[in-house]
Chains A and B, each alone.
Chain A
Amino acid sequence: MYHIALKMLLGNRSKYIVLVSGITFSTLLMTQQCAIFCGLMLWTTGSIQNMRSKIWVTDPKVEQVNEVRQLRDTDVGRVRSVEGTAWAVPLFWGLQQAKLADGTFKQIQLVGLESATLVGRPYDVVAGRIEDVRLPNAVVIDELAIIRLSAGRAKPIGLGDTFEINDREARVVGICRTAKSFFGMPYIFTTYDQALQFAPKTRKMLSFILAEPAEGWTAEATARSIERATGLRAYTENDFFWATIRWYFRNTGIPMSFGITILLGFAVGVAVSGQTFYTFVLENLKHLGALKAMGASDGLLARMLILQALTVGFIGYGLGIGLTSLFGSLVLKKGEPPFMLPYQVPLGALAVVLFICIFAALLGIRQIRKLEPAIVFRG
């Protein structure tokens, strides 16, 4: 009987198309919005991804990576002397003004790396050498900077070119790839000491301390040890990542606005597909009644409905995920809007789609159970 069930479904071409497109659209809306949301959340942790460090030491009040509260220079030494710490280095991070060849200004994210070790250095240098940032006024810029800082030049900014950061000349000695950040500004890497020269003088200039656990210590244990000994906050890389994402969840309207769109996707799925499937069942009630009169059990008819609903669900879901992936591959090539599709998203969407289908089928099954086979003799 199952091929009969499928024929009954596919034979009603227009209903079938509405059903499948409802699920497709719903899946697309839910997964695509989730992926943009995840991408955006990932962007908030851009600095953590770009300056890999097992331990981040911050001011006790700092809750996430994009929030900088300067530390004292002496804090580096205090952290170094904590038991369980192999080494600790200062990191400068700050938003600064770059002056372009045409006289306009652009914001940049200036990163100062401790010059002896260059801990926190970009891991994907595509031109020049990261070691050259130790040269006077030298900087390594990311690929986004080439786009942003090239205004007023005959050809895009490249190795050996100069621009100004806060009225000081900066010379490009390398180009690297970085993960996008929430602020969407280019990363400019230099040494810690030179960063202090580029940035306007303030009383405290140290943004973060990057530390490494000693041999035999986990990052977690070292972080706790640093906190106990110094009263500073010490995050493992993983903790800092999730703390940052949690912070944006709690303190911005981003989850809410995405949540609304995702709910809308769900509502479309229920309203369009659930409704259409239900009317499909109602329109077929006459035939289902005839099948029931001919001796089809409620169980058989229920299984036929579930098969129909799941067929629509899986096809619609497949198309929806396909469209989201297509969107994703186009977007990732372009770099924006943000996009990340962790496996939990399609899995969750599948669960939601199955829920919609089963729900619709159950509504239909209820009708079938109520159906009196005797109605087949009534006009």
Chain B
Amino acid sequence: MAENKNNYAVHVRGVSKTFGAGTTAVTALKSVNFDAREGELLMIVGPSGCGKTTLLSTIAGTLQFDAGEIDVFGSALQKMSKSQTTAFRRQNIGFIFQEFHLIPTLSAVENVSVPMLINGASRAAAEKKAHALLAQVGLEGRGHELPTSLSGGQQQRVAIARALVHEPRLIICDEPTSALDKENGARTMELLQQVARAPGRCVVVVTHDNRIFKYADRMTEMEDGRIARVHEIKDGQSPEFIPN
């Protein structure tokens, strides 16, 4: 990886993305400039359809963009081939989804071990690490259970363990708490906050859920495919504005 300038984890310049063509074309990102720093938990908020998920997908390397530059920990995404992008995601990105996306026929440990296996680790090494991470998220001893026998909050914690097991530098979360109750949402965010504070890491969270705004270090507000405002948040304080 190239030298990382200004402690930026993610550095987005002039990124545009249009879906479809002709009369049905939707421009979801309009020359977006955006940064996330190492060691921070950054939230992206904004009204439905403003392009939050689209921005997150381009940063994560799961969606190709039309113009602009994206630098993630020194890697320039616009210069990568498809297979290089796949390898980049495999090594550098941890994913946390709204719907958890755990594989129902695999035990918690097996689910957590998947990213390491994709990276070519042995089964024994992957499962050892997976057990350790499950313990970190408070699920010690429940590794052999299937996702269906765990509560929603527990499933999301399994998903967090899975997002961290291969030690990625960037953790990408789309609506991680919207399927959870208040208590489990808070627990999830506390975990993500700890993760973000670890050196050389960054957590980007897209959310609608104003109950969790207080966990953000900074908050980026989007409107209609653009970044409208960026808020610095003082420790432990809820920001005074409420989007929507």
A residues sitting closer than 8 Å to B (CB atoms) are 1, 3-4, 7-8, 10-12, 286-287, 290-297, 300, 372-374, 376-379
Q: Mark B11-37, 1 if CB is under 8 A from A, else 0.
A: 000000000000000000000000000
Name which of B113-121, B136-144, B191-199 contacts chain A. B113-121
Q: Are A377 and B86 in contact (CB under 8 A)?
A: no
Q: Are B62 and A296 in contact (CB under 8 A)?
A: no
Task: Using known A-B contacts A377-B56, A379-B98, determine if residue A295 contacts B93 with beta carbons closer than 8 Å.
Answer: yes
Interfacial chain A residues near B53, Cβ < 8 Å? 377-378
The 7 closest A-B pairs by CB, nearest first: A11-B105, A295-B90, A373-B62, A290-B101, A295-B89, A374-B63, A374-B62
Interfacial chain B residues near A376, Cβ < 8 Å? 62, 95, 97, 101
B76 beta carbon closer than 8 Å to chain A? no
B residues sitting closer than 8 Å to A (CB atoms) are 53, 56-57, 60, 62-63, 83, 86-91, 93, 95, 97-99, 101, 103-106, 110, 114-115, 117-119, 123, 174
17 cross-chain CB contacts under 8 A: A290-B97, A290-B101, A292-B86, A294-B114, A295-B86, A295-B87, A295-B91, A295-B118, A295-B119, A297-B83, A300-B118, A374-B57, A374-B62, A374-B63, A377-B62, A377-B174, A379-B98
Shortest Cβ distance from A1 into B: residue:
B117
B31: shortest Cβ distance to chain A, in Å? 20
Interfacial chain A residues near B83, Cβ < 8 Å? 297
Q: How many Å lie between the Cα of A11 and that of B147 in the bound state? A: 12
Q: How many Å lie between the Cα of A49 and that of B89 in the bound state? A: 70
Q: Are A7 and B110 in contact (CB under 8 A)?
A: yes
Residue of B62, B88, B101 near A287 (CB, 8 A) is B101
Q: How many Å lie between the Cα of A10 and that of B98 in the bound state? A: 27
Q: Are A12 and B93 in contact (CB under 8 A)?
A: no
B96: shortest Cβ distance to chain A, in Å? 11
Shortest Cβ distance from A373 into B: residue:
B62
B173: shortest Cβ distance to chain A, in Å? 10
Q: How many Å lie between the Cα of A7 and that of B151 in the bound state? A: 22
Residue of A287, A294, A378 near B95 (CB, 8 A) is A294
B204: shortest Cβ distance to chain A, in Å? 12
Residue of B110, B115, B174 near A294 (CB, 8 A) is B115
Q: How many Å lie between the Cα of A75 and that of B118 in the bound state? A: 81
Q: Are B56 and A295 in contact (CB under 8 A)?
A: no
Q: Are B106 and A294 in contact (CB under 8 A)?
A: no
Task: Using known A-B contacts A297-B86, A377-B53, A378-B53, determine if residue A11 contacts B106 with beta carbons closer than 8 Å.
Answer: yes
